[in-house]
Structure 1
Amino acid sequence: MKKVLSIVVATMLALSVAACGAKEEAPETPGTENPGTETPVDSGDVVEVQIGFENSMSEPIGQALQKWADLVEEQGDGSMKIVLYPDSQLGSKNELIDSMLLGEPVMTLADGAFYADYGVKDFGILFGPFLFDNWEQAWTLTESDWYKGQSDLLEEKGLKIITSNWKYGDRHTMTTTPVKGPEDLKGLKVRVPSNQIQTEGFNAMGATAVGLPLGDTYEALTTGTITGVENPLATLYGRKFQEVAKYLILDAHVKNFTTWVTGTMFFDGLSAEQQELLVSTGKEAGFYNNGLVDEAEADYLQKFKDEGVTVTEVDDATQAAFKQSAMSFYDLGSTFGWSDGLYETVRKAMGAE
C-alpha cells in the first residue's frame, strides 16, 4: 500500500512541475522566431545599418567608415548602430540597391554615373571630364538647389542620399608611353569602367576608351591590348599597375566624390532623431575621410616615384588644353538624355560661371 501511495505522490509532483514550467514559459511573440527577418525599425530592436562596400578596411574609406560607426555609437542613444561589410561581403552594388528598394537596412557608396543608370539622367554629368576646376566647386555643387533637386528625383526612384561630401580622389591616367598633354593621348587605348559616360569622356579627350573589368586590366596592359588605365592613385597603386605602366600624368580628369545611399523606405522608417544622427555623423566622417585621402595620395605618389614611375605634373596651360580637348563631350547631352543647357546650369550652380 505504501509503495502504491509513493507512486501516486511522485506522479502528482511530476505533473505539477510540468504545469508550472508551462506557465513560466511565455508564448513567443509573432515574428520573433527568426530575429533579423523583420525590419529592425518595426521590431523595436536596435537598428543595424549594414554598410556594404567593395574596398578593404585598410583603405582610407574603410577607416573613415569605422569612424562613422564609432560616431554613431558615441553620439547616439543606443537605438542604432552601423555594421560594416567590406570587400563586397554583402554582394555587388546592384544587389545592394535591389535590397534597398525592398526596404532592407543596407547602405552603399555610389556616384552620379550610377544614378544616371537608375533614371536620374542629369546626375551623370558629375563624371564628365574636367567638369570641376577644383574641389571647392564640387562641394559648392553638392550644397546647391540643383543638386537637391536631383537628389529629390532620386528619392522618387526609392533611393535616399545620406551624405555627399566624401572624397574618393582625383582620377589620373597611367600609360605605357609618355603623356605630357592631350595630343599624346591620340592612339592610346585607355581602360575605363564599362559605362557610357566615361567611355565617351575619354574618347572626347582623343584616346580610345576600352571598357574592361578592373581585374582584367593588369594582363591587358602586359599584353598590349590596352596602353593606359585611369583611376585614383590608391587604386592604381593597389592594383600594381606601376609594374607594367611606367608613366603617370596627374591630369585629374575627374574629381571623384562619392555618396552614401540607402533606400527611402528604410530611411523614412527611422525616427527623426535617428535620421538626423545618421546624416550628421555621415558628414562628420566624410571630413575625416577627406583628410585621410589627401594624406594617402601624397604617400602613394612617393611610392610611385620610388618604384621607377615617371610622374608628370600638369601646369595651368596644360590643364586648360586638356579641358578644351574634352569639351566636345558636353555636346553629347541628348545622347545621355540630359536636360537642355545642363553643362551651363551645373557650372553656374557650382559657382564657376
Structure 2
Amino acid sequence: MKKKLIATILAMVCAVSLVGCGGATESGNATKGTETAATDKSSGTATEITISFGHDNNPGDPVEEAAEYWADRLEEVSGGTMKINVYPSGQLGSKSDLLDQILAGDTVAAIGNGPFLADLGAPDLGILNAPYLFSSWEELDTLVASDWYQEQMDILEQKGIKVLASNWRYGVRQTLTVKPVEHVSDLKGMKIRTQSTTVHVKGFECLGATPTPMALSDVYTALQQKTIDGLENPLSVLYSGAYYEVAKNLTLDAHIRDLSCICVSTDVFNSLTEEQQQWLIETCEEAGEYQNELAAKADEECLQKMKDNGVTVYEVDEDEFKQAAESFYEDPEIQSMWSEGLVDKVKGIISEE
C-alpha cells in the first residue's frame, strides 16, 4: 500500500512538471500582440505565422483587393504555414498607429509612403511625395531601382522597419471639394484633409489651402458636418469611400504620384527562415503588380462613375499649380528636413530613365 502511494505521488509530480514545462515553451514562442507562433531559426524549421495587414482603404478599392490577393498567394506558396489576415477601413488603427506597432515589434504589415517613412527615420524619403516632382510612374521606378533608394531602405531597416515591396502604385492624387477649384487661388483658406505628415501638410500650404490632417475613416462625416471642405486622394479611393456623395467638385490637379511601400518589423522579418522571407517578399511584389493593374483600370471607371453621380470635373492648368508649388521647395522646414542637394540629386537620377 505504501509503495503504491509513493508511486502515485511520483506520477503526479512528473505530470505537473511536464505541464509546467509545456506551458513555458508555448508562452515563450508567443509574439507580442500577434496570433503567431515563432520560427525556430536555429533548426531551420518554420512554424506557422499569421500577419495582420491593416490599411485605411475600403472594400472594393484596389488596395483591399490586392491585399486579399497577397493573402491568398502567400498561403498558397507557403503550403498554409504563412497567413495574412486583412483588416480594411482603418480597423486596426491609422497608418501612424500601424507603423508604431511595427516599430514595437508586432507582427503586422502596413502601408507606408515616403512622408510617413521620412518621419520615422529616413527623412530624405519625404521627397517621394513632393508636389509635381515626378511626371510619370517610370520616373519613380527608376528612383526605386537606384543605389540612393537602397541606402534609404538600409536606414529604415536599422530603425526597425523592413520594406517588403516598393511597387504598389497607390495612385495619382487628385482633389475633391465641396466648392469648385479651377485655379490655385480657389484653394485659399479651404480646409483640405491631408495625411498627417510634414510633406503633405506643407504641400497644401504652398497652394494656399489650410491642411487638416485626420484619419481617412473620419473624412465622410467631417465633410457632412462641414468640418472640412475637401480631401485629396487617388480616384479609386475617392469613389470607394463615397466621398463624392458629400463633395461634388473634382479637380484633376495630379499633385502627387503616390508610391506605396509595404512594411513589417525588422525583428519579425529576421525571425523568419530565408525561405519564408523569400515567400513574403515575392508574393508582396506580385500583389503590387496586381494592385497596379486594378488601380489603372479603376481610375477610368471611377472617374466616369463620379460624373454619373453628379460630380463636376475640372481639368486645370498644371503649370499654374506647379509654379505655385515651387514655394514648397523653398520652405525652411522642408529644406532643414532633407540632405543638401537632395532635389537636384533625385532629378538627376530620374532623368537617366
Q: Output the TM-score relative to the length of structure 2.
A: 0.83
Unmatched tracts of structure 2, length 5 or more? 32-36
Give the counterpart of 1:177 among 159, 176, 179. Answer: 179
| Residue 269 of structure 1, CA deviation | 1.9
| Counterparts in 2 of 1:257 and 1:333: CA distance versus 1, 3 Å | farther
**One-letter amino acid of the counterpart of residue 37, structure 1:** A
SS at match of 1:124: helix
The aligned residue for residue 5 of structure 1 is: none
1:228 has 2:230 as partner: yes
Alignment partners' CA distance in 2, 1:95 and 1:177? 32
Alignment partners' CA distance in 2, 1:94 and 1:200? 18
Give the counterpart of 1:167 among 149, 166, 169. Answer: 169
Give the counterpart of 2:24 among 14, 26, 31. Answer: 31
The aligned residue for residue 269 of structure 1 is: 271
The aligned residue for residue 3 of structure 1 is: none
Residue by residue over 1:3-54, the C-alpha shift from the partner in whole angstroms, topping out at 9 and shown as x without a partner, is xxxxx9xxx9999999999999993535344486245113852222332323
SS at match of 1:31: helix
The aligned residue for residue 40 of structure 1 is: 38
SS at match of 1:161: strand
| Residue 120 of structure 1, CA deviation | 1.4
State, as a whole percentage, how many aligned pairs show the same letter.
41
1:350 has 2:343 as partner: no
| Counterparts in 2 of 1:290 and 1:333: CA distance versus 1, 3 Å | farther
| Residue 92 of structure 1, CA deviation | 4.1
CA contact (8 A) 2:173 2:235 kept: yes
Residue by residue over 1:129-175, the C-alpha shift from the partner in whole angstroms, topping out at 9 and shown as x without a partner, is 11210111122211111111111111111111110100111111122
Alignment partners' CA distance in 2, 1:137 and 1:55? 26
| Residue 77 of structure 1, CA deviation | 5.0
Alignment partners' CA distance in 1, 2:243 and 2:81? 45
Alignment partners' CA distance in 2, 1:223 and 1:70? 39
Alignment partners' CA distance in 1, 2:351 and 2:337? 24
CA contact (8 A) 2:38 2:271 kept: no
| Residue 176 of structure 1, CA deviation | 2.9
Alignment partners' CA distance in 1, 2:246 and 2:274? 52
Aligned 1:90-129 pairs, distance under 5 A: 90-129=92-131
Give the number of equivalent residue pairs: 341
- The structure whose Rg is larger is 1
1:146 has 2:159 as partner: no
| Counterparts in 2 of 1:80 and 1:238: CA distance versus 1, 3 Å | closer
Alignment partners' CA distance in 2, 1:197 and 1:339? 15
Q: Which moved more, 1:157-166 or 1:338-347?
A: 338-347
The aligned residue for residue 54 of structure 1 is: 56
Q: Which moved more, 1:187-196 or 1:161-170?
A: 187-196
Q: Which moved more, 1:32-41 or 1:18-27?
A: 18-27
SS at match of 2:39: helix
| Counterparts in 2 of 1:80 and 1:135: CA distance versus 1, 3 Å | same
Alignment partners' CA distance in 1, 2:225 and 2:95? 30
Alignment partners' CA distance in 2, 1:216 and 1:280? 34
The aligned residue for residue 75 of structure 2 is: 73
CA contact (8 A) 1:165 1:283 kept: yes
The aligned residue for residue 246 of structure 1 is: 248
**One-letter amino acid of the counterpart of residue 206, structure 1:** G
CA contact (8 A) 1:72 1:277 kept: yes
Alignment partners' CA distance in 2, 1:102 and 1:269? 15
